[in-house]
Amino acid sequence: MADFLSIILAAGKGTRMKSEKIKILHKAAGKVIIKHVIYTLEDLSTKIINVVGYQKKEVELALNDFQDLDMNYVVQEKQLGTGHAVKQASEYITNHSGPVLILYGDTPLLRKETVAEFVEEHQKNKSDLTVMTAVFSNPVGYGRILKDDSGELTAIVEEKDADQDIKKIQEVNSGVYCVDSKLLGVFLKNMDNNNSQAEYYLTDLIEFAVERRKNINTFTVPDSEEIIGINTRRQLADAEKVLRKRIINKHFDNGVTIIDPENTYIDAEVIIARDTIIYPFCYLEGKTIIGENTVINPHCRLQNAEIASNVNILSNSIIRDSSVGENTNVGPFAYLRPGSKVADNCKIGDFVELKKTEVKSGAKVPHLCYAGDAEIGERTNIGAGTIFANYDGEKKHKTKIGKDVFIGSDSILIAPLKIGNNAKTAAGSVVTKDIEKNKTVMGVPARIYKK
């Protein structure tokens, strides 16, 4: 059985986002908000219960890639408060013996290390209930932490229910709790909604525990921005800045050179090896992986790209869902569309567009070319202005070019087509038929050249 039961509250719509998409599915640093929260649990032995409501299927789809985690879902049909949301997981709580960790799905700034330390403190103190808190100079919008003269937690008061004296308190509730499953189960059976919002507050758990003389503790996060929740587009933008700064610093620590951190945008799941240099105004997105000693020049966009070591990506190049091998040059102004694969020691030059094209070792496509649904063999050279005509108006077709082929400038290769090893096309040829190895063709349409 898992050591912990983790409950993530993610049922709200987030109307202040002014979006058809619920707030936890908006992205921060290239990853949907709730993924950041689940990431904090990856190193814990825990069963995860996502309390969802709106767009349940979309949430499940977004979290599909957490295959190694014990993920479960319950539905909160009506939004009747945080206590009511947790109650939807009652079956899991009843069947669990031990701590229950409760988090919100809209807090992407929470660190994995903070959650681990929080859980450790709860266990070390043998607490029945531990509340994560933070201190803000301007705590507007947060529930306030009430303590007695000895510093013991006595209650949490939501701002809507707080008087002026309570509103002056700067220590606030983060919404993150660690609570014994039996205590939580009894509370959920006895909670009420006697408050200004007529909602079932999870924060009433504190008074419930105090009345029963339970061992209650608080854990104050050293960095208060970690508990900030996302409710508006402005807050999302603020969180994005914080996350991107953390990401940049992580890559600095790993030996990556980033020339201008303020104008470089790297998503959370990007991996970069040491001694790579990233120039300004680059966007490294999704699950991009970059090897050692590679240079990404200004104004490049890499999206789910796999770039090997010792690669030079020149300015204004775009690479999407494609790979580039070692010692290869790409760009400037190159566009590698999804499904392209460039091998080692290749050259993809300026104003070259590849789509579902494999360029094998040592091949060159130096400039001004479109290649779609193609295979280009080892050491083959594609002349400037060459077009791979892969679409006949109804279907896409493939062009397969062998080794050591020379394609003359301004050639048009009309698929489906096979060109054998060591074949050649003269400049301006329109190739409509397969070419055997060692043959040269020229003309419109291209015919075999005989000396």
Handedness of CA 77, 81, 84, 88 (dihedral sign): positive
Residues 6+ apart with CB under 8 A from 15: none
The first and second tokens of residue 305, run together, are 């790209």
Q: Please give the Cα distance from 81 to 190 (Å, whole number).
A: 15
The number of angstroms, rounded, from the C-alpha of 269 to the middle of its chain's C-alpha atoms is 5
Q: Where are the extended beta strands (E) located within 360-402?
A: 364-376, 381-382, 387-389, 399-401
Q: Please give the Cα distance from 5 to 61 (Å, whole number).
A: 22
Q: Please give the Cα distance from 180 to 151 (Å, whole number).
A: 22
Contact 14, 232 (CB under 8 A): no
Q: Please give the Cα distance from 151 to 218 (Å, whole number).
A: 10
- What are the beta bridge partners of residue 289? 271, 306
Closest residue by Cα to residue 114 from 242, 223, 217, 215: 223
Closest residue by Cα to residue 340 from 326, 325, 327: 325
Helix (H) or strand (E) holding 252: helix 233-253
- Say which amino acid occupies 181: S
Closest residue by Cα to residue 35 from 71, 66, 6: 66
Report angle CA 133, 139, 140 to the nearest 5 degrees.
Answer: 130
367 is known as an active-site residue: yes
- Say which amino acid occupies 368: L
The first and second tokens of residue 145, run together, are 């932490």
Q: Is 3 left (phi over 0), alpha (psi -120 to 50) or beta?
A: alpha
CA dihedral angle for residue 239, residue 32, residue 37, residue 12, rounded to 10 degrees? 90
Residues 6+ apart with CB under 8 A from 237: none
Q: Please give the Cα distance from 118 to 112 (Å, whole number).
A: 10
Contact 277, 295 (CB under 8 A): yes
The first and second tokens of residue 286, run together, are 């999704």
Residues 36, 122, 299, 367: which is the catalytic one?
367
Helix (H) or strand (E) holding 147: strand 144-147
Q: Which residues have a catalytic role annotated? A: 367
